[in-house]
Structure formats: structure tokens, C-alpha cells
Amino acid sequence: MKPRELVASAMVPGEAAALQCWRHDGAYSLWIGRTELMSSRVHESEELLADVVVQALGPRPASRVLVGGLGMGFTLARTLVGVGADARVDVVELVPEVVAWNREHFGHCAGKPLDDPRVHVIIGDVGATLVESPDAYDVVLLDVDNGPEALVHPGNARLYAPAGLLVARAALRAGGVLGVWSSAEAPTFAGRLQGCGFTVTTHRTRARGRKGPRRTVWTAIRR
């Protein structure tokens, strides 16, 4: 049996436990404590997030996109497939080491999306970026923490609270689309989005094809 190897670790603002990057049998995973956040083997729902948001936008071009949370780059990579050659895609990542690990260790797993000239990396808090970007984006994708109710870092709850959703709505142009990924059902979240001025569709899938834990994605069109 091949051993699991710790590749790198980094501290996350507000977290007591370190974020760790592990490698096993050619695959990579990110953990905080005993919680696995993501794996290079399991990424279909992250790709679904990008697919359904671009579909919800319809024929309108996504000329400017924000991806909140780089992770292992799978949502970013799929977003780049769905937008035009002239699009600008801002990817906001809180932990600078995650950007470095994408470049140095596991970026090839998602096709090295950070090498695409359409991508602009912002090191910082996605909530703060949204506050500073009124009426700026056609699409906003949020894959932060494990979603509205499965939070590893409780401070991220503000992104999914009504005040945070209204900030995201204000960052969208009229008719723009917010996409949100979650590792859990969060049954009240669609109603929360509707109450913040969105037309909402809920998409349910599995983490890996027809197997694995359930995942939920919401597309929310700014009314």
C-alpha cells in the first residue's frame, strides 16, 4: 500500500488547525484537521457549478466572472471552457499558499487553469472583493468552505447570510447569475436566495458520478 505524503501546510486566517496538502498514489487532497475539503479524484460537482451557471446566463456573454475560492482549480477550469476568449475571470483565494500549490503541485490535475491569460488572481477575502465591486460581474461563483450549512470556518457564514447574499447581488449586473456550491442539502437556502431578489434553481448531484455523498448547487438569477 502506497503511503500518504504530506506535501505542504499553511495557516488559514481565523483557523487554529493548519490547512494541509496531501498526496497519495498520484492524487492530491486538502484537509483542515480531520476534515477533507477537496480531492483531485472527486470534482464533478465543482464542474457542475460552472456548467449550470453558464447555462443559466443563456446567450448573454459572460464578459466578467468572479470565482470565489480557487481550491484545486476545477471550478475555474470549467468556467474557462464556458466563457469567451475575451472574458476576464477573477479568482479570489484567501490563502496565498493555495495559489502556490496550484502552480507547484496539483495544477495539472485541472489542466493548469492559472496559466490561462483570462485569469486574474486576487489574494484576499471574497466578501470584501464583492463589496468593492458593485455592478461589476455577469457571473459570481461561490465555492467557499463547504457551503451554507457545512461550515468548517464559522466566519464564512456571513457570505451565505442575507446580508452577504445582498452584497453578491449588488456585485452582479442586471440579469447576472450567482452560483453556490454546497456539500450539504441546506433546505432553507433557496428561500433565502429568493428573499434577496433572486430567481432560484436547485441542482442536486453526487460527488463522483452516481456514487459518493450528495452535493447541491444553486443558480440564482438577479431579478
Q: Is residue 51 one of the residues assigned to a domain?
A: yes
Q: Is residue 163 one of the residues assigned to a domain?
A: yes
**pLDDT tens digits, one per residue of 28-61:** 999 998 889 999 999 999 999 999 999 999 999 9
**pLDDT tens digits, one per residue of 110-168:** 999 999 999 999 999 999 999 999 999 999 999 998 789 867 777 889 999 999 999 99
Q: Is residue 29 one of the residues assigned to a domain?
A: no
CATH of the domain at 213: 3.40.50.150
Total domains, the chain: 1
Buried b / exposed e across 98-131, counting CB within 10 Å, b at 16+?
bbebbeebbbebbeebbeeebbebbeebbbebbe
Q: Is residue 131 one of the residues assigned to a domain?
A: yes
Burial class (CB in 10 A: 0-12, 13-18, 19+), 141: buried
74, three cell numbers: 476545477
For residue 113, what is the DSSP state? Answer: G
Spatial neighbors of 203 by CB under 8 A, at least 6 apart, are: 48, 52, 216, 217, 218, 219
User: d(Cα 32, Cα 153) in Å, to the nearest integer?
Assistant: 10
Q: Residue 46: what are its φ and ψ, rounded to 5°? A: -65, -35
> How confident is the prediction for the chain on average, in pLDDT?
93
Q: Is residue 36 one of the residues assigned to a domain?
A: no
Q: Which of 28, 30, 48, 217 is nearest to 108 (CA)?
A: 28
Structural domain harbouring 147:
42-222
Going by pLDDT thresholds of 50, 70 and 90, the confidence category of residue 198 is very high
Q: Is residue 194 one of the residues assigned to a domain?
A: yes
Q: Is residue 20 one of the residues assigned to a domain?
A: no
Mean pLDDT, to the nearest integer, of 170-192? 95
Buried b / exposed e across 151-160, counting CB within 10 Å, b at 16+?
bbeeebeebb
Q: Is residue 153 one of the residues assigned to a domain?
A: yes
User: Which comes out higher in pLDDT, residue 209 or 11?
Assistant: 11
